[in-house]
Structure 1
Amino acid sequence: MSFLARRLAANATPLTTRAFSASARRDIAKITLVGNLAATPEVKATSTGKEVIEYAVASGDGPRDNRHTSWFRVATFAEEGPRRDYLTSLPKGSTVFVEGDAVMNTYTDAEGKTRSSLSIYQKNLEVLRRGSPSE
């Protein structure tokens, strides 16, 4: 065995080690959406008093005569300032690119049925086309 091969074998890390990160492993679900805002984003208060910005993104697929639209609820925490003002000024119909964390929640509704909902927490937002205020 050559010197280089012995050296590489001696310094090899086990396959279970994540060489690219010093932090602990976390399971995460990411989602990317491209679609149109269903309405102007709104600021709402949480039960703890913190404010959250909520909005819905509509994304469609399929041929024009048999189009299916999916609706996604998105939330983000943004402190008061220019970033928050910009987001809450986006009109309905604006085309957006959203990257976020996806979390599946399970709950029991008023009729006692088990339901699931997908929550998306925005990490990044880019406006691809700003809608007109009259849309």
Structure 2
Amino acid sequence: MFSLRTQMPRVASLRAFSTSAPRPLAKMQIIGRLADTPELTPTSTGRELIKYTLGVSTGAKDENGNRGVSWFKVASFQPEGAQRDLLLSLPKGTQLFVEAEARMDTYEAQDGSKRSSLNLIQRSFETLSRPRNPGETTEGSA
């Protein structure tokens, strides 16, 4: 039997997918509900930062019909414009799809112990749905 390998010429070098240098990348995609209305806060450098928390339901429902919730704090340096205004106007309970860069930071707590935290910097977001009754949200329904 004649093998295709013997028919194919060998290539000394493979063509690279990209000519740019590789960069480390840690990215998260999250679908969750806003724990509260996003807030605008100034940084020490004079920039403005939008902070918000997303709740993501996890696991099966318990005997009371509630699921566990994982909470993710997200920061956004969204420039002024329509997207920023939209993000700041979203009410608690709005369901979002967020793409963010993820980074683990280690720091020393006041008690001297080492702690780690996950920092998420939003790169893009999409509103999936708004709450039916913006003033009413149930515990564990994130």
**TM-score normalised per structure 1:** 0.85
Match of 2:25 in 1: 28
The structure in which a higher percent of residues are helix is 1
Match of 2:102 in 1: 102
Shift of 1:89: 0.2
- 5 Å matches for 1:56-75? 56-65=53-62, 67-75=67-75
Question: Are 1:52 and 2:52 an aligned pair?
Answer: no
Question: Are 1:90 and 2:90 an aligned pair?
Answer: yes
How far apart are the structure 1 equivalents of 2:61 and 2:119? 28
Q: Runs of at least 4 residues of structure 1 off by over 2 A?
A: 9-12
SS of equivalent to 2:51:
strand
* Cα deviation digits, residues 10-54 of structure 1 (max 9, x gap): 4642xxx7x221211111111111110001111111111111111
SS of equivalent to 2:80:
coil
Letter of the 2:25 partner, please give it: I
Match of 2:129 in 1: 129
Match of 1:77 in 2: 77
Percentage of pairs with the same residue: 46
* Cα deviation digits, residues 44-94 of structure 1 (max 9, x gap): 111111111110000011222162211001111112221111000000000
SS of equivalent to 1:110:
coil
SS of equivalent to 1:28:
coil
How far apart are the structure 1 equivalents of 2:80 and 2:13? 49
Return 5+ residue gaps in structure 1 as ranges: none
Match of 1:117 in 2: 117
Return 5+ residue gaps in structure 2 as ranges: 1-5, 137-142
